[in-house]
Each structure stands twice: as C-alpha cells, then as structure tokens.
Amino acid sequence: MLNSLSPDHITVDEIAGRYPPDIRVSVLRLDKLHPVISGNKWFKLRFYLEEAISQQKKGLLTFGGAWSNHIVATAAVCRENGLHSIGIIRGEEPAEWSQALLDAKKEGMQLHFISRTDYKEKHVPGELNISSRDYILVPEGGYGAAGVKGAATIAAIPAQIYSHYLCMAGTGTMTAGLINALPESSTVISISAMKNNHSLQEQISFQLAPVHADWTLLHDHHEGGYARFTPSLLRFMNDFYAETGIPTDFVYTAKLFRAVDDLVSRSFFPSGSRLLVIHSGGLQGNRSLPKGTLNF
Ligand SMILES: *Cc1c(COP(=O)(O)O)cnc(C)c1O
C-alpha cells in the first residue's frame, strides 16, 4: 500500500542552540515522507484508502480549494494504489490553474469546479453522473473519524513521549488525532492557520475520545490570515533554514516555528519541557511564491 511512500524517511531532528538550554525542541519531519503526498495528508487519508480497497470501490472522491494540499495528496495516493480520484473544487474554474490543480490533474484526478454556494452543501452535483456508491467520500481536509484515526498514528512514530506537542491546524483533523493518541500528561498546542476561525475549537472537540491529552488551541499566529505572508515571514523561513537546515512552508509550518519562538520567548513552557514540533509538510505550496524568494 505504501509504494513510494516511505515512513522510514521520517526522522526526529533535535534543534540545538536556538532555544534556552532548559527547553528541548525536537521536530518530527513528516515533510520527508513523500514529495507530493505531503506530511500529514497521507496519515489522514490512510484509512479512507483502506476502506476503498477493502470495499472494492473505484476510488476516493473529495473536496477542496484550488490550492489545496489535500486535493493533490488524494490524487497521488489514489494513483499509487491503482484507484481513481475525483476532486470537487470550490469556485469557478480559474483562467490559470494553480500548481495544485495542475499536479492533481497530472496524478489523474478528475476535477470538477462548482460554485461556492453549491460547494457549501458538499454534495456531488447530479449532472456529473457519479455514483457515490462507487467511491469513498472523503470530507474536505480528511475531516472525519477515519481521518482522525489516521492522524492519531502520527503520535506513535517517535520512540518517546514529549511534554508538549505543537502542530498547525486547518480543519483540526491532525490536531484531534494527536490529542486522542497522547496521554493526559502531555499537552497538544495547536495553532490555527486561519484568522478568527473559532468554530475550530468545537470541530476538534467533536472528534475527541473520552480519555485524551490536555490541549490548547491558539488563534494569534496566523500572521494576517490563511496563506497570507509578509517579508518578515519569508526572511524567517530563510534564516530558520540557514540555522537548522529545516525547510518550511509559508502557509503552515513557518508560522508554527515562529509561534514556537514566540511562546518560548514568553516563557510559556516550564523549565525542563521537551517539545515535539510536528513538521506537517506542505513544502510544495512554496512553488506559488516568486522564484528566488527562498534559499531552499
Ligand atoms: C493540511 C495541512 C495542515 C492542516 O491539517 P488539518 O488536519 O486540516 O488541521 C497542516 N499543515 C500542513 C503542512 C498541511 O498541508
């Protein structure tokens, strides 16, 4: 089932010298998993994929925006497993396709553009003549019990338990999986990639098991909003790469590492804390930046 995916590419890298000596910061490098099926996306998709295979469906049908990492990952996961994929894309077909749409198409995904109003309903337009019985429906971003269960398997990769786990949240699927998989003695700190997305708290809570880790959702690290960036963020990405050798993406993980810096500098973590920062991938999204912006 893994084909070119290789979980053994995933490493836990310690960041030395950047933080005070009483705070240890390690990074779970999910970004190393696969160049297209980036980071957390495979984990969120794995059980939907298993359902499609065991129920002998034609493939996966999912939803997303024109820049969605989830759309591309779904397309690639399906192609590698000999399944068909359908992407229902929010909004009219753009005159110029985004890199994500081009990639999804290259991976063989059948793409359909629907109006934003219809998209809200998340139904498969009747005129497409797609029998939804032939496909496993994957909600946007993999949000759902199977997605959360898949994301929970991320927590088992490192050999040890940390005091704090830090990750980004879009739909909150990965966050919920981590919270469910970790002991009550650990704290998951989830950073919303969006501005004022306060329904996220409930979206995460809804997916939680009775016993789970402690958790906090932070809303003040979006740096202007979802997928927004400033010269200062781009400078941070280059500096962080120069210092640590870790590449980041401007939508999610750069904001995550900036949040870590900010929290550490505000003494958010008690002395002796051991942090695991989840590098959830997304690097291919940097291709939408002007060439030469980044040094990696
Ligand atoms: C999709 C994505 C996320 C968000 O994951 P959710 O499970 O939707 O919260 C975080 N980081 C990266 C790099 C992503 O591509």
CATH number of the structural domain spanning residue 17: 3.40.50.1100
Number of residues written out for the chain: 296
Find the radius of gyration of the CA atoms of the chain: 19
Pocket test for ligand 1, best of 42, 71, 252 (most atoms within 8 A of CB): 252
Residue 62 sits at the vertex; the CA angle it makes with 80 and 217, to the nearest 5 degrees, is 105
Pick from 127, 180, 134, 130: nearest CA to 154? 180
Task: Give yes or no: residues 63 and 196 share one domain.
Answer: no
Report pLDDT for 30.
97
Count Cα neighbours of 243 within 13 Å in the Cβ-side half-sphere: 14
Atom 10 (ligand 1) nearest CA: 168
Pick from 225, 255, 223: nearest CA to 237? 255
Contact 169 CB / ligand 1 (< 6 Å): yes
Task: Give yes or no: residues 177 and 50 share one domain.
Answer: no
Atom 2 (ligand 1) nearest CA: 170
* 175 in a structural domain: yes
Pocket test for ligand 1, best of 40, 41, 143, 197 (most atoms within 8 A of CB): 40
CA of 282 to the centre of ligand 1 (A): 8
CA of 187 to the centre of ligand 1 (A): 19
Task: Give yes or no: residues 86 and 201 share one domain.
Answer: no
Pick from 109, 68, 64, 107: nearest CA to 88? 64
Where a domain ends, among 113, 142, 171? 142
Strands (E) in 96-234, as ranges, are 110-114, 135-138, 164-169, 187-192, 214-218
Task: Give yes or no: residues 124 and 160 share one domain.
Answer: no
Distance CA 237, CA 42 (A): 24
Report pLDDT for 159.
94
Task: Give yes or no: residues 175 and 204 share one domain.
Answer: yes
CA of 129 to the centre of ligand 1 (A): 31
Report pLDDT for 5.
67
Task: Give yes or no: residues 86 and 27 share one domain.
Answer: no
Where a domain ends, among 124, 142, 160? 142
Name 127's Cβ contacts closer than 8 Å, sequence gap at least 6.
none
* 295 in a structural domain: no
Q: 201 vs 139, 208, 272, CA distance in Å?
A: 18, 11, 28
Task: Give yes or no: residues 176 and 230 share one domain.
Answer: yes
Can you give the pLDDT of all 296 residues of the chain as single tens digits?
445 566 778 999 999 999 999 999 999 999 999 888 889 999 999 999 999 999 999 999 999 999 999 999 999 999 999 999 999 999 999 999 999 999 999 999 999 999 998 888 777 877 777 877 899 999 999 999 999 999 999 999 999 999 999 999 999 999 999 999 999 999 999 999 999 999 999 999 999 999 999 999 999 999 999 999 999 999 999 999 999 999 999 999 999 999 999 999 999 999 999 999 999 999 999 998 999 999 99
* 2 in a structural domain: no
Contact 172 CB / ligand 1 (< 6 Å): yes
Own/partner pairs, 79-82, CB within 8 angstroms, 24+ separation: 79/107, 79/108, 80/3, 80/4, 80/5, 80/37, 81/1, 81/3, 81/49, 81/53
Task: Give yes or no: residues 134 and 156 share one domain.
Answer: no
Pocket test for ligand 1, best of 168, 173, 255, 287 (most atoms within 8 A of CB): 168
Strands (E) in 139-266, as ranges, are 164-169, 187-192, 214-218
Residue with tokens 């970004």: 31
Task: Give yes or no: residues 157 and 255 share one domain.
Answer: yes
User: 197 is in which domain, residue-wise?
Assistant: 7-37+148-288
